[in-house]
Amino acid sequence: SAVISQKPSRDICQRGTSLTIQCQVDSQVTMMFWYRQQPGQSLTLIATANQGSEATYESGFVIDKFPISRPNLTFSTLTVSNMSPEDSSIYLCSVDLARSTDTQYFGPGTRLTVL
Amino acid sequence: QKEVEQNSGPLSVPEGAIASLNCTYSDRGSQSFFWYRQYSGKSPELIMSIYSNGDKEDGRFTAQLNKASQYVSLLIRDSQPSDSATYLCAVNPNNDMRFGAGTRLTVKP
């Protein structure tokens, strides 16, 4: 496995503002992913963060709302822009340590509350 | 039809019993299957992965896969109160993991 950290662990934000979530891995990984888990729900993939190219977004998620950066093989950020209370959720990054196994390991998550 | 379906539960079993968690999936081309455990307020933790038809055992956990029936299950033997959590089934058909809604398991002492 790998050690995956996320910052912040939680935040309370005002409507209309933006929050950037950081994900750091202790080893180089090819694939990094961002998920959202709304209260009582399962995980929904937002996007795949590709190193050296634009992120690949899932249906229903757009770059203007959730811009993603992937400057190197150990780090990624997800920004939640122009937040509304509907964005209140847990945001999780995950990594695939070796493409051949396609197994994902999750960071501890960021709990976001939008007032 | 949802891509990955699980009974939401809650499933309640007494301590020491076998807990059986079930999952069906819709993409017949799926090759990779996973079970994650998620404690309340925590992130998902990988328990098992399975790629071939049949059973795979790891300690008290056994994953079972039947690709013809598009069915994967997780058995937990000698269930402990510490096993109380939500169990997520995940299927990875094209390097894009899809999760079920999860089954909440409670093991009563």
Quick one: tokens of B48?
């098992």
pLDDT of the residue at B7: 85
Q: Decide which of B29 and B20 is more confident.
A: B20
Which pLDDT belongs to residue B39?
95
pLDDT class for A101, splitting at 50, 70, 90?
Answer: low
Give residue A60's pLDDT band: very low, low, confident or very high (50, 70, 90): very high
Token duo for residue A115 = 């007032």
Beta bridge partners of B74: B21, B63
pLDDT exceeds cutoff 90 at A98: no
Q: Do A102 and B92 touch (CB under 8 A)?
A: yes
Q: How far apart are the first and last CA of chain A?
A: 36
Answer whether residue B46 shows pLDDT above 80.
yes
Q: Which residues contact A96 (CB under 8 A, 6 or more apart)?
A: A29, A30, A31, A32, A33, A102, A103, A104, B95
A contacts of B102 (beta carbons < 8 Å): 42
B74-108: per-residue pLDDT in tens? Answer: 999 999 999 999 999 999 877 778 999 999 999 99
- Burial classification of residue B41, based on how many CB atoms lie within 10 Å of its CB (0-12 exposed, 13-18 middle, 19 or more buried): exposed
The token pair at B108 is: 């009563």
- pLDDT score of A99 more than 60: no
pLDDT tens-digit profile of A19-49? Answer: 999 999 999 888 899 999 998 888 999 999 9
pLDDT tens for residues B2-27?
789 998 789 999 999 999 999 999 98
B102 in reach of chain A (CB within 8 A): yes
Facing residues of B85 across strands?
A: B105
Q: At CB < 8 Å, which residues of chain A contact B?
A: 1, 31, 33, 41-43, 45, 48, 58, 92, 94, 96, 99, 101-109
Residue A67 has pLDDT above 60, yes or no: yes
Name chain B contacts of A1, Cβ cutoff 8 Å.
Answer: 46
* Among chain A residues, CA nearest to B33: A103
Q: Which of B84, B107, B99, B85 is nearest to B6 (CA)?
A: B99
Strands ordered across the beta sheet of B4-6: B4-6, B19-25, B71-76, B61-66, B54-58
Mean pLDDT of B18-38: 94
Of A41, A45, A109, Cβ closest to residue B96: A45
Confidence of residue B1 (pLDDT cuts 50, 70, 90): low
